Structure 1
Amino acid sequence: MSLVMLAATGAPVWAQSAATVQGTSTMTPTATAAASSNVTTLAPVQVYGVDATSTSPTFGYTAPVSSTATKTDTPIIETPQSISVITQDQMREQGAYTLNQILRYTSGVAPETRGAAATRLDQFNVRGFSATTYLDGLRVYGSRDALPQVDSYRLERVDVLKGPASVLYGQGGPGGTVNLTSKRPLDTTQREVELQLGDFDYRRANFDFTGPMDEEGKLLYRLTGSGYMSDGQLDDTKERRYYIAPAFTWRPSAATSFTLLANIQRDPHMGSYGGVPALRSLRRAPDGIKLDPSFYDGDAGYETSNRRHHSIGYELSHKFNDTFTAKSSARFTHAEGIYRTVYTNSSGSGYVDPDALFLRRNKGGVNAEYDAVVTDNNLQARFGTGAVQHTMIAGLDLQHQNSRTLNSAFDAAPSLDVLNPDYHMDIPDPTWTSFAKQRQYQTGLYLQDQLKIEKLSIVLGGRYDWARSVSDTKTLASGAVRHNPTTRSEAFTGRAGAIYNFDNGVAPYVSYSESFEPQSGFDVDNNPLDPVEGKQYEIGVKYQPVGSNAIFTAAGFDIRRQNLTATAPGCTPNQANCVVQTGEVRTRGMEFEARGEVARGLSVIGNYSFISNKYTKDNPNAQGVSRVGQRPYGVPKHQASLWTRYQLQDGALQGLGLAAGVRYLGASADDSGVLKVPDATLVDAAIDYDLGRMNPQFKGINVALNVTNLFDKEYVASCSSESWCWYGYQRSVRATLRYRW
């Protein structure tokens, strides 16, 4: 990948020159000296080449290639499945630091399903279903209370592959795969420090240093770190995070590259996990009083979310010749979490009294610890058979997770006066009831062939998985240990797709893909539950105008999640294993997305999604209620967003960037389908200024201001029931000072 910067000598600019990262060419910054003040500095012009990779830095909002869909560096315009890439430039210019914030302007994604109340978890859905998160192509394992969250400052980009992807990654839901790509060492020296201040007493410091360690450029390093502290949106809550992520690359030859990636992180405080009832949030009580979006249903003296984790992994690549390349990657992660919570009871309205003045609450706690080892190894072959060019990949991946969890009873906690809340009650420690150990294993073999016949690209793939889960539970009161039956699952998943690239940049495609999710337990006939299966049919078109740095996509899809458990006919209320696997949820929808530079200095990201998601098969439960026709909560039928940014190209204010965005969040419903959550429209804005283009003395200094929910719109993000709703984010203001040299 190469980038040409047309620079005036009147103001310094950052030029980008071709450099090698892990054996491939990419962009790295160098300074261009100024010599005259009479020439205008123009914005960068990006020219993509065959050396672009899925891990190299990307300029602007459009990435040319991705490996998430194929595990090979394939142009997105030649990939027969919908995929969105959020680049580092987009994350920085939108001021996004959590995964939910990163996904706000992505088609088919409903982020922040629990609004501002669940900042400690990355809860979102893709095409109406949960999505599996990966880091550098390897799955991120973790329980709810010890889940390793990845901060965006560690990332080069985020790829969102829509639809099932078990053919390459193994067990996972049908919604999609979100692959986070870490920053890697560059072979040109680059240094950055960043300071941020904002409302809610937000303070943050970041640093990122990279470059060669020897004259030959065989040894490279990168050191990234960050720390921030803030008050939470909810009263009496706070957030804290500190981490450092070192990386090291060794390139003994042009054919071999070895990269070590590590991270040490601590999140001693991470907000809350509470909510509010529908009464006094969606609906006013008889006294007319609504709860404020900052209302907290917990207890500050009892609330705890103390997480820590560390990981170390590697990526090894060796090119034997022009045909064969071998790759291997692995990561070990250790995580711990101490979790205590007081929360609104889920029964009824959530209130003790008919006047809705006192919340009924419970308390509980979990101490979680786990170790995970994931590895992926494959051999890639590029060759031709007559008129057909092949890129074939065969691989083996292994995943092993070992978790240890101390669980408490979820006992009653003191009720809370919602009009005069006391967040520092004397609440006893949790009552510990059990200690559970679980070991999960997955082994997968996969084979894929990408065939190219002139302008036609075809992808065919298949995979076979073996999954096993072993667990036991110790009851603390009696000391009895229950060894649970071993759960075993096997599944074959396949994939097929084709895309045709016309000379004018139009590329229509069709695809079919599958997924599977192992289940634990037994059905009514005492047979082990089969894996839940996902199947997607997709048809779409991509358009990349020749010579442009923009891409436009449209897709229609039909996804079915089958083998869900449903109540077995004729079961008595107390009968064990009273389930059969006849349930199904179906999603049909359309997506439209546009991203890139549409005019000199003007970048745009726009999208619209229509998702019809509902239960299509189910049996009535013991109360005679069926879920057929109901929609899972937190899945809006309509969503749309538009983000535009313009950077002035000349004049006294050249280098000034102005940006604005609007997000439309469609209406949704709770799990019962009775409670309706209204739609909301939010506005974001940003301004940034490259001071070096104004005056050479300020070379490398950039200032920015980001405001989300500019007009402080009060809205409910979603509700799962009458007692559990979640307010969305209030207005947030962040000021940034960045220095690069």
Structure 2
Amino acid sequence: MMKNIIIFLTIIALSVTSSYAQNGGVRGVIKSENSQVIPYVTVIIKELNKGTISNDFGEYELKKLKPGVHTLEVSSIGFDVIYKKITIEKGEITTVNFILKESKIMLQEVEIIGRKAKTYKNSISFAATKTATQLKDIPQAVSYVTKEIFADQQAYHINDVVKNISGVNQFSYYDDFSMRGFRSGNTYINGLRAVDLFGPQPLLVNIERLEVLKGPASAMFGNANPGGTMNRVTKKPLAEDRKAVSFTAGSFNTFRTALDFTGAMNESKTLLYRLNIGYENSDSFRNLQENKSYVIAPSISFLPTDKTRINFDLVIQNFNGKLDRGQPIYGATAGTSLNSKGNTPISFAIGATNDYHKSDANYFTLSLNHKFSDKLSFNTSFMRFVNQEDLFEHRTSNKYALDAAGEPIPTLMGMRISARQNKKIAENVNNYFVYKLKTENVSHKILLGLDYMKRVTPIGGSGIWTSGSSAYLKKDGTVARYEPANIDDFILDTNGNPVPNIPHFDLENPQYRLAYPNDYILGGYSQPEEKYSSIGYYIQDQITWGKLQVLLGGRYDKFTDYANYNTKNEKAFEYAKFIPRVGVVYSATDHVNVYGTYTESFEPQQTRTVGGLSNGPFDPVQANMVEVGVKASFFNNKLEANLAAYSILQENELVTDPTDDTRMLQLGETSSKGVELDVVGRVNANFSMIANYAFNISKFETTPADSDFKKGEMRPNAPKHQGGVFAKYKFTGKILNGISLNAGTNFVSERNSADGSALKFPSYVISDIGATYEVDKFVLRLTVNNVFDKVHWVGGYSYHRMFPGAPKNYLLSVGYTF
């Protein structure tokens, strides 16, 4: 029996030995370019359909491989895929090590995995062409500000960072900007349209970067502003563990905190998470103003296979404060400078002590990228955005008080009440296929897609108000517009002047008080149900032929707007247009690309501007642009620059009739021509910078006879010159190791107001300085903004509503990473 067992075991051993002798294997170590081992890398032999995953030490091994020539495929999230031919010998284990390069464009057409870089520079845009495209290869100017710049400038709101972008400046305190001379329009998040908040400024804690696609972008987004489209890109999960918390205190009783955690949730790193939380509690340099805001933003990415990627974002935002409508100013009505002594101080704000503005802005997005093959992929994104608002405010009537003769009293401001509660819901879905085709000399990236958007204001909203035209009390208990000829019908004060329904605000001796709706004679309204929607069909081909790249695109957009929605008087207004886009990029050298583009914009007028007016509806706003430019990189691609020259022509813009606020006027043509320069990146390992300059002539070419604007006048809040620079130097010597110093300055030239050239906002230059100290895992930052305490005006509308910039202030923060 024992003899038989020995014979059997001998046969088994010989069989195994023979098997190993007939076959071979491969093993090795996988590292990154900085010599760090990379775990959980997928290694596959394509011909044999056999594979493995590297261990915690980056080691892999495949056994029992048939001898011969095979192809090894090595892939990992965030790294370029490597294909390598190897020869397997009989009875031998071949050693093959790999060094993976970090991927410039990961295997995604929608952004599923986050940006790993920690520098000022960003190389990719997903929104400009709807596919991951190198910025240097996009035939249109794209400016951006990354979270690393947010951190060094201690920026917490969009208004804090637009100074870093050429051709963009504040129009007011709201989510409201001037881009190449045109007022901004829709808000976009990850390329999807959100509800326009307008009032509160969202916190930046969950934002990876702010992008501005300059000029018309209707070929990509449908109805879009001709000056540019601002896109907020949210932070996405990373496969590596990163955790950071920070606490900030500063001027105006400012307290802030932020948390950013990300990493893998399983060993295979197929389930990733990111959690961003931010909180702010601050006052302002302006009386009465305060802000309490928080944001909670979890994000999950699921990577079940190397062909399918899914991301889910949830963002919960709450704002609780006051809506700062700007301030009126006295003295300037006589033509004096806004900065003259004796004018209204910039700390001055109008309102009542118990005014408030509360808003919830919550949204979720779901994105999927699936690769059917190396040539064909499908991408889809969905977003639902809900904004709920509760507002009660005392605001200006945009008119001064009247005396008995009907003449304005420039030291007393007319007032009105505005209160509302409503909800707005926006839903977007964007679907497209990408097909990559390559012939001997020419490659194509063809995109074919459809998107749908709708925005609804559901029934149930309501408000109370007092109109500026019904501002004075009559003896019969009603209110009406004051007319000197009928003075006997009105209640008069001790000075013989008409008594207002809402007490005037004394600009020389301001008095703040508690005030309630039952103190006044008010009107009320029920918010009607509203809806508008758009559907777009688009096609695009990115063609590469040697050094030449051509972008050909077109979109058919159909926009439907409803007046008296869901009532028996419902009426649909439909607008449709085909929107072309043509661009060319030529690689003059390895580091210099020149480009040119032609594109258009299309903005139908919505029912909130055509419905209820005595002279609507109106033709859509349309524009076209020609742009040429140069994109270059320096210092081994660490620093990049974009120089652009453009010409935009727009027609059919709407403005309020100055003689009747129930009517609108449609302007003729307005133009914008200019040159812009953006530079961002690193000069060396120690010196980082971002700089910009814009020269812009944005003016009215033709205007109606009864408009406040005259032919040849500059558009409101459109500076002729605007720019700035911010730079940081990090010391690495023994004595100053860990210390960084930064400084920045930005300037804006004189601008017209909505009153035209009758009121101009003065030019200004603002300077900031800062210092950072990094020790172990702690980071200490000190920033002093407006270090020379310059009085300046960031934007405004008229003498009654202007927006001063903040005086000198400081921020001190401490952060910890683990």
Place the TM-score, normalised by the shorter chain, in its bin: 0.7 to 0.9
Q: Structure 2: 5+ residue runs without aligned partners?
A: 1-30, 37-56, 59-73, 81-100, 472-501
Query: Which of 604, 608, 625 is residue 689 of structure 2 equivalent to?
Result: 604
Query: Which of 730, 737, 740 is residue 654 of structure 1 equivalent to?
Result: 737
| Separation in structure 2 between the aligned mates of residue 287 and residue 60 of structure 1, nearest angstrom | 43
Native 8 Å contact 1:340 1:365 kept in 2: yes
Which residue pairs with 1:552 in the alignment?
641
Which residue pairs with 1:426 in the alignment?
515
- Give 1:664 shift: 0.8
Native 8 Å contact 1:349 1:723 kept in 2: no
| Separation in structure 1 between the aligned mates of residue 127 and residue 443 of structure 2, nearest angstrom | 21
- Give 1:356 shift: 3.8
Correspondence list, 1:597-676, <5 A: 597-621=682-706, 627-671=710-754, 672-676=756-760
TM-score normalised per structure 2: 0.78
Which residue pairs with 1:724 in the alignment?
801
- Give 1:712 shift: 1.5
In structure 1, the residue corresponding to 2:183 is in which secondary structure? coil
Which residue pairs with 1:67 in the alignment?
126
- Give 1:307 shift: 0.3
Shift of the 473–225 alpha-carbon distance from structure 1 to 2, 3 Å rule, reads same
- 2:464 is the alignment partner of 1:389: no
| Separation in structure 2 between the aligned mates of residue 270 and residue 255 of structure 1, nearest angstrom | 48
| Separation in structure 1 between the aligned mates of residue 758 and residue 35 of structure 2, nearest angstrom | 59
Which residue pairs with 1:399 in the alignment?
453
Deviations 1:402-439, CA, capped at 9 Å, x for gaps: 11442433344211222331111434255322322101
Shift of the 286–317 alpha-carbon distance from structure 1 to 2, 3 Å rule, reads closer
Shift of the 152–582 alpha-carbon distance from structure 1 to 2, 3 Å rule, reads closer
- Give 1:288 shift: 5.8
Native 8 Å contact 1:258 1:316 kept in 2: yes
Which residue pairs with 1:113 in the alignment?
171
Shift of the 99–22 alpha-carbon distance from structure 1 to 2, 3 Å rule, reads farther
Native 8 Å contact 2:584 2:597 kept in 1: yes
CA RMSD between the two structures = 3.3
Query: Which of 449, 464, 472 is residue 408 of structure 1 equivalent to?
Result: 464
- Give 1:325 shift: 1.0
In structure 2, the residue corresponding to 1:253 is in which secondary structure? coil
Higher relative contact order (CA 8 A, sep 6+): 1
Which residue pairs with 2:556 in the alignment?
464
Native 8 Å contact 1:259 1:316 kept in 2: yes
Amino acid at match of 2:545: I
Shift of the 450–278 alpha-carbon distance from structure 1 to 2, 3 Å rule, reads farther
| Separation in structure 1 between the aligned mates of residue 717 and residue 120 of structure 2, nearest angstrom | 28
In structure 2, the residue corresponding to 1:233 is in which secondary structure? coil
Shift of the 575–507 alpha-carbon distance from structure 1 to 2, 3 Å rule, reads closer
Amino acid at match of 2:509: N
- 2:527 is the alignment partner of 1:435: yes
- 2:793 is the alignment partner of 1:739: no
- 2:264 is the alignment partner of 1:206: no
- 2:158 is the alignment partner of 1:92: no
In structure 2, the residue corresponding to 1:544 is in which secondary structure? strand
- Give 1:576 shift: 10
In structure 2, the residue corresponding to 1:152 is in which secondary structure? coil
- Give 1:676 shift: 2.0
- Give 1:536 shift: 0.6
| Separation in structure 2 between the aligned mates of residue 670 and residue 360 of structure 1, nearest angstrom | 20
Native 8 Å contact 1:435 1:473 kept in 2: no
Shift of the 361–625 alpha-carbon distance from structure 1 to 2, 3 Å rule, reads closer
- 2:506 is the alignment partner of 1:506: no
Native 8 Å contact 1:128 1:587 kept in 2: yes
- Quick check: 276-285 or 624-633, which moved more? 276-285
Native 8 Å contact 2:78 2:102 kept in 1: no
In structure 1, the residue corresponding to 2:162 is in which secondary structure? helix
- Give 1:627 shift: 3.0
Query: Which of 492, 497, 500 is residue 583 of structure 2 equivalent to?
Result: 497
| Separation in structure 2 between the aligned mates of residue 262 and residue 155 of structure 1, nearest angstrom | 13
Native 8 Å contact 2:171 2:183 kept in 1: no
Correspondence list, 1:445-464, <5 A: 445-464=537-556
Native 8 Å contact 1:565 1:583 kept in 2: no
Amino acid at match of 2:758: V
- Give 1:732 shift: 2.5
- 2:298 is the alignment partner of 1:246: yes
- Give 1:589 shift: 0.7
Correspondence list, 1:347-358, <5 A: 347=399, 356-358=410-412
- 2:174 is the alignment partner of 1:174: no
Query: Which of 166, 188, 195 is residue 141 of structure 1 equivalent to?
Result: 195
- Give 1:49 shift: 4.7
- Give 1:63 shift: 0.9
| Separation in structure 1 between the aligned mates of residue 672 and residue 305 of structure 2, nearest angstrom | 49
| Separation in structure 1 between the aligned mates of residue 340 and residue 624 of structure 2, nearest angstrom | 50
- Give 1:293 shift: 1.2
Native 8 Å contact 1:567 1:620 kept in 2: no
**Which structure has the larger Rg?**
2
| Separation in structure 2 between the aligned mates of residue 486 and residue 495 of structure 1, nearest angstrom | 29
TM-score normalised per structure 1: 0.86
Native 8 Å contact 2:380 2:432 kept in 1: yes
Structure 1 runs of 4+ aligned residues shifted over 4 Å read 2-7, 20-23, 52-55, 284-288, 348-355, 522-528, 565-568, 573-579
| Separation in structure 1 between the aligned mates of residue 416 and residue 616 of structure 2, nearest angstrom | 35
Shift of the 343–350 alpha-carbon distance from structure 1 to 2, 3 Å rule, reads farther
- Give 1:629 shift: 1.8
| Separation in structure 1 between the aligned mates of residue 318 and residue 339 of structure 2, nearest angstrom | 45
Q: How many residue pairs were aligned? A: 683
- 2:670 is the alignment partner of 1:585: yes
Native 8 Å contact 2:401 2:414 kept in 1: no
Correspondence list, 1:266-415, <5 A: 266-277=318-329, 279=331, 283=336, 289-301=342-354, 303-347=355-399, 356-404=410-458, 405-411=461-467, 412=471, 413-415=502-504
- Give 1:123 shift: 1.4
Amino acid at match of 2:738: G
- Quick check: 334-343 or 509-518, which moved more? 334-343
Amino acid at match of 2:350: D
- Give 1:158 shift: 1.3
- Give 1:525 shift: 13
Percent identity between the aligned chains?
26
Shift of the 459–270 alpha-carbon distance from structure 1 to 2, 3 Å rule, reads farther
Q: Structure 1: 5+ residue runs without aligned partners?
A: 8-16, 27-46, 475-480, 693-699
- 2:186 is the alignment partner of 1:130: no
Shift of the 509–575 alpha-carbon distance from structure 1 to 2, 3 Å rule, reads closer
Correspondence list, 1:50-65, <5 A: 50-51=104-105, 55-65=114-124
Deviations 1:214-248, CA, capped at 9 Å, x for gaps: 11111111111111100122112210001211111
Amino acid at match of 1:102: V
Native 8 Å contact 2:402 2:408 kept in 1: no
Amino acid at match of 1:418: L
Deviations 1:277-318, CA, capped at 9 Å, x for gaps: 2536984799962222110111122x2210012212211011
- Give 1:341 shift: 2.0
Native 8 Å contact 1:566 1:618 kept in 2: no
Shift of the 690–350 alpha-carbon distance from structure 1 to 2, 3 Å rule, reads farther
Deviations 1:453-501, CA, capped at 9 Å, x for gaps: 1111111100011111123289xxxxxx783532111111111010111
